[in-house]
Structures are given as structure tokens and as C-alpha cells.
């Protein structure tokens, strides 16, 4: 059986990818809740959708099959006949304090066609959408000016994070912040019930029912044997060690994990905001993660004796990568050319967050023109997409895409 998920590199020719088209959820962001929802501004819906459609078409024009999360989730729910069970679980995780409100929301949502229900859950439910006749004090006296019964999920277009493909499987992630924790339920229901994915040989290496956080922006597939995972604001060292034990013990093919420690902050929330692989021997890197002499704390996890994990600490990232990838030399291309002003400016708008669609071929945001030109000067083919509204969510082309199938690299 050929797994419907097969990703053994960051750069193998991209064959199938999972996207989510920005929807009404981005217009349910307000200044009061913007930061809690992990946004730094409020996108203009028609333009963000146009930009996302151009991103999707760019991938199709390069031979990529584009699947949409919202469609797969609705298809899975119908295929598994789990509409009520999924809705109950979603409502239970939506922090609704009042049983009367939860019951009314269930009636409201379950009456919709499945895709409409999925998109409404994603968009959020405003208090002015349904008239809930409740006599409970919690309702009549509730914080009346909070405009939502269910919060919007505007980060869903960053499909890279709630689940992460890895070999012939994936992790379905326990996300760090409440604003994103419900997102991984969609991939969970797809893996459990969608005919293309359920019981088709794809492994779930780690599920979302964990205490420790992990997000896909930190999970890079450097080869069929080596992963790089960021120790970051969004992924804990504990999660990495737990995943290593599972991968090493379950014939995943992976033999080494490079746990790369990066600053814990919003701008650099995931490893892929500061470091991405773009060719057999080339990476982008944001100078802001490098200490004196280019030092980056890197912990190499390998199978030890008696199912233990052997951990080795190194600081020369370039050498660690050369040794792990068995290449004679390797280039780390600095974001913004390493300039003290351009690098942080372009990193803020995801100048380091490239999506490789083949070895040496990357999709990037057009706004990061200094980083893009540097990549071209290093022999990389750069395909730019418009990004004025997309970038307001603080994610780039790699964030907005979860590869499901990549061709294996020729040895």
C-alpha cells in the first residue's frame, strides 16, 4: 500500500500540497483580539483571497496538485458520518461557558450543509448571528460586548503548523496558544475518516492529545534520515525527545534529529521563519539566530542503548548540517543579505520562509526583494508571489503549505 503522505525532504519535487483559502475568519479579527489571535494587522479579505489564489495557481502551474483543508474536512465528516461527533468535540474545545449557548450553537451549526458548517466553524460565530433565549445568569449577565460565541480561526491558512508531514506519515499537533489549538482537529478527522487518507498506510507519529506543544513550522525534513526541529516559542524540547523515541522505534526511516534552539519570540515563532532548506546544499538563515562566530545551539538526537536517546551538543550549525547531509560543503544564505536593517525587516515579512517546489526552485514573497535577489545570485530559481495581505498573518509560502507528496531525491 502506497501511503497518501510521502515526504522525505524539504526540496523534492512537490507533487501534492494542502492549502486553506483565507475566509471570513480574517474579517472576524478586531483590534481588541488581533494579538491574542496571533495577528499583527487585519487583512483585507478580497485581496488576501486573490493573493492566495495566485499562490495556489503558481503551484498548479508547476505541476502541483492543490488540495484544500476545508474541502477534505467536510468530505471526511460526511464519509465517516461523524458530523455530530465532530461538532460536539469542536464545541467542547471552544471554551463555551454556558450549556444553553452550546446547545443553541449545536442546533445552528448542525442544520448547515457539512462544508458550510466547517467554514462557519472556521470563521467563528458572532453573538448577533443567533438569538439564544437563555435565562441563565451567565448569559443574561455575560460580558455583553464580546462579539463572539465561537472565536474565529484566522491562522488556518497556515496549514504547515497544525499537522506536519514526515516520511510516510505526519504529526497532528498540540498547538501552543489557545487561538490555534482547535485547528488540528480538522487534520485529525481527515486522517480518521477521509477515504484518501484513512487506513491507507499513513502513520500518525504523534497525535494532538499531548501536554507538550509542537508545531509544524518547527519540523523540517532534511533527508529521508534526518530531521531538523526547532526548540522554539512553539515547540518544546520535551516534545522533540518524545517524537524522537517514536520515530527511532517505529521504522520511520529517520535516524537523527537536529534540535535547533532559536529565540522564543513572535517574529521568530518557528524554525522555518529563520531557516529553510532550498537546495541539496543551500539554506536560508536569519542572522538573528546566530551568536558570535555564527554559533547556533544544536542538539543531535540519535538512537542510544536500551531505547535511550543519545544527545550531542554542537554549535557549528554549518558543520552539523554538512555531516548530517553528507555533503562536502554547504551555503547558509543570510536573509536580507545579512544587512542590519534589511535582514530583520525582511525576516519580519518572512524573507527566510521559502517553499521549495524542487531542488533549487523556491516560491517566495515578492516584498522581500533583497533576499530574493541574493537567492538568485546563489543560483536559486525564485518564483515570487504577491504578499501585501498574506504577510499580515506573519507567515510565508512555507507556512501556508503542507506538502503531502514530494518525489524522492535521487541518491
Ligand X SMILES: NC(=[NH2+])NCCC[C@H](N)C(=O)O
**Other Cβ atoms closer than 10 A to 360:** 17
Grid cell for residue 387: 504578499
The contact pattern for ligand X, residues 155-194, with x = CB under 6 A and - = no contact, is: x--x-xx------------------x--------------
| Cβ 17 to ligand X shortest distance, Å | 14
Please check whether residue 86 is in contact with residue 77, taking contact to mean a CB–CB distance below 8 angstroms.
yes
Q: In whole angstroms, how close is the CB of 123 to ligand X at the nearest point?
A: 17
Beta-bridge mates of residue 277 = 283
CA atoms of 171 and 32, how far apart (whole Å): 32
For the bound state, the minimum distance from the C-beta of residue 177 to ligand X, rounded and expressed in Å, comes to 7
Give the interface segment with ligand X, choosing from 196-204, 283-291, 334-342, 393-401 (CB under 6 A): 393-401
Residue 335 is a catalytic residue:
no
Helical segments of 196-306, H only? 237-249
Report, in Å, the least distance between residue 214 CB and ligand X: 12
- If binding is defined by CB under 6 A, does position 119 make contact with ligand X? no
Exactly one of 19, 38, 247, 382 binds ligand X (CB under 6 A); that residue is: 38
Per CB under 6 A, 273 contacts ligand X: yes
- According to the binding rule CB under 6 A, does residue 351 interact with ligand X? no
Strands 298-303 and 256-261: antiparallel
- Tell me the per-residue interface mask from 217 to 246 with ligand X, x by CB under 6 A, - otherwise: x-----------------------------
Stretch that binds ligand X, among 46-54, 66-74, 265-273, 280-288 (CB under 6 A): 265-273
Grid coordinates belonging to 193 = 475518516
Q: For 66, list phi and psi in degrees, rounded to 5.
A: -105, 120
CB atoms within 10 A of CB 89: 15
Instruction: Name which position in 26, 76, 269, 361 contacts ligand X (CB under 6 A).
Output: 269
Cβ distance to ligand X smaller for residue 87 or 260: 260
Stretch that binds ligand X, among 97-105, 114-122, 314-322, 392-400 (CB under 6 A): 392-400
Provide, rounded to whole angstroms, the least separation between the CB of residue 158 and ligand X: 4
Q: How far is the CB of 394 from ligand X (least distance, A)?
A: 4
395 is a site residue for ligand X (CB under 6 A): yes
Q: Which of 37, 399, 402, 404 is catalytic?
A: 399
DSSP output for 324-363: HHT-S--EEEEGGGG-TTHHHHHHHTTTT--EEEETTEEE
Give one word for 327, left, alpha or beta, with left for phi > 0 and alpha for psi -120 to 50. Answer: beta
State how beta strands 275-279 and 256-261 pair: unpaired
- Sheet arrangement for strand 65-68: 65-68, 14-19, 402-406
Nearer to ligand X, 193 or 286 (CB): 286
DSSP string, 266-297: STT-SGGGTEEEEETTEEEE-GGG--GGG---
The one-character DSSP state at 409 is P
Residue 217: CB minimum distance to ligand X, A: 2
Query: Rounded to an integer, what distance in angstroms lies between the CA atom of residue 294 and that of residue 260?
Result: 13
Q: Which of 64, 226, 383, 399 binds ligand X (CB under 6 A)?
A: 399
Nearer Cβ to ligand X (155/298): 155
CA–CA separation, 411 and 407 (whole Å): 12
Instruction: Give the one residue of 393, 401, 402, 403 binding ligand X; rule: CB under 6 A.
Output: 393
Interaction between residue 43 and ligand X (CB under 6 A): no
Among all residues, whose Cβ is closest to ligand X?
217
Element containing residue 40 per DSSP (H, E): none
Considering the complex, state which of residue 75 and residue 154 has its C-beta at the smaller distance from ligand X.
154
Spatial CB neighbours of 168, under 8 Å, sequence gap ≥ 6? 3, 5, 6, 201, 202, 203, 252
- Catalytic residue positions, numbered: 399
Binding residues for ligand X (CB under 6 A): 38-39, 155, 158, 160-161, 180, 217, 269-270, 272-273, 353, 393-395, 399
Amino acid at each position: 500500500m502506497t501511503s497518501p503522505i510521502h515526504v522525505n525532504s524539504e526540496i523534492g519535487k512537490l507533487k501534492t500540497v494542502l492549502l486553506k483559502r483565507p475566509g471570513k475568519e480574517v474579517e472576524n479579527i478586531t483590534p481588541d483580539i488581533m494579538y491574542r489571535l496571533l495577528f499583527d494587522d487585519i487583512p483585507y479579505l478580497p485581496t488576501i483571497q486573490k493573493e492566495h489564489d495566485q499562490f495556489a495557481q503558481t503551484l498548479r502551474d508547476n505541476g502541483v496538485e492543490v488540495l484544500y483543508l476545508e474541502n477534505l474536512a467536510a468530505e471526511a465528516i460526511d464519509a465517516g458520518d461523524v458530523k455530530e461527533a465532530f461538532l460536539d468535540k469542536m464545541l467542547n474545545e471552544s471554551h463555551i461557558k454556558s450549556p444553553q449557548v452550546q446547545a443553541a450553537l449545536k442546533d445552528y451549526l448542525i442544520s448547515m450543509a457539512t462544508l458550510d458548517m466547517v467554514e462557519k466553524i472556521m470563521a467563528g460565530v458572532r453573538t448577533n448571528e443567533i438569538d439564544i433565549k437563555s435565562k441563565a445568569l451567565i448569559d443574561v449577565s455575560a460580558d455583553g460586548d464580546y462579539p463572539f460565541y465561537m472565536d474565529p480561526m484566522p491562522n488556518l491558512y497556515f496549514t504547515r503548523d497544525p499537522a506536519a508531514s514526515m516520511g510516510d506519515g505526519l504529526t497532528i499537533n498540540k498547538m501552543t496558544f489557545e487561538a490555534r489549538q482547535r485547528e488540528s482537529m480538522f487534520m485529525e478527522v481527515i486522517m480518521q475518516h477521509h477515504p484518501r487518507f484513512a487506513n491507507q498506510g499513513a502513520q500518525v507519529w504523534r497525535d494532538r492529545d499531548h501536554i507538550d506543544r509542537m508545531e509544524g513550522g518547527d519540523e523540517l525534513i532534511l533527508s529521508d534520515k534526518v530531521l531538523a526541529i526547532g526548540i522554539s516559542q512553539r515547540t518544546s524540547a520535551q516534545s522533540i525527545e518524545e517524537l524522537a523515541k517514536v520515530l527511532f522505534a517505529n521504522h520511520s526511516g529517520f535516524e537523527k534529529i537536529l534540535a535547533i534552539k532559536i529565540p522564543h519570540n513572535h517574529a521568530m515563532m518557528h524554525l522555518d521563519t529563520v531557516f529553510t532548506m532550498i537546495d541539496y546544499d543551500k539554506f536560508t538563515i536569519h542572522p538573528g539566530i546566530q551568536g558570535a562566530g555564527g554559533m547556533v545551539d544544536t542538539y543531535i538526537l540519535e538512537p542510544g542503548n536500551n531505547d535511550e536517546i543519545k544527545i550531542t551538543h554542537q554549535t557549528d550549525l554549518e558543520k552539523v548540517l554538512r555531516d548530517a547531509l553528507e555533503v562536502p560543503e554547504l551555503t547558509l544564505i543570510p536573509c536580507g543579505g545579512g544587512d542590519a536593517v534589511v535582514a530583520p525587516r525582511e525576516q519580519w515579512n518572512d524573507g527566510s520562509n521559502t517553499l521549495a517546489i524542487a531542488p533549487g526552485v523556491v516560491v517566495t514573497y515578492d516584498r522581500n526583494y533583497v533576499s530574493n535577489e541574493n537567492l538568485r545570485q546563489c543560483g536559486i530559481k525564485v518564483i515570487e508571489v504577491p504578499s501585501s495581505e498574506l504577510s499580515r498573518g506573519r507567515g510565508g509560502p512555507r507556512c501556508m503549505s503542507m506538502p503531502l507528496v514530494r518525489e524522492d531525491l535521487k541518491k
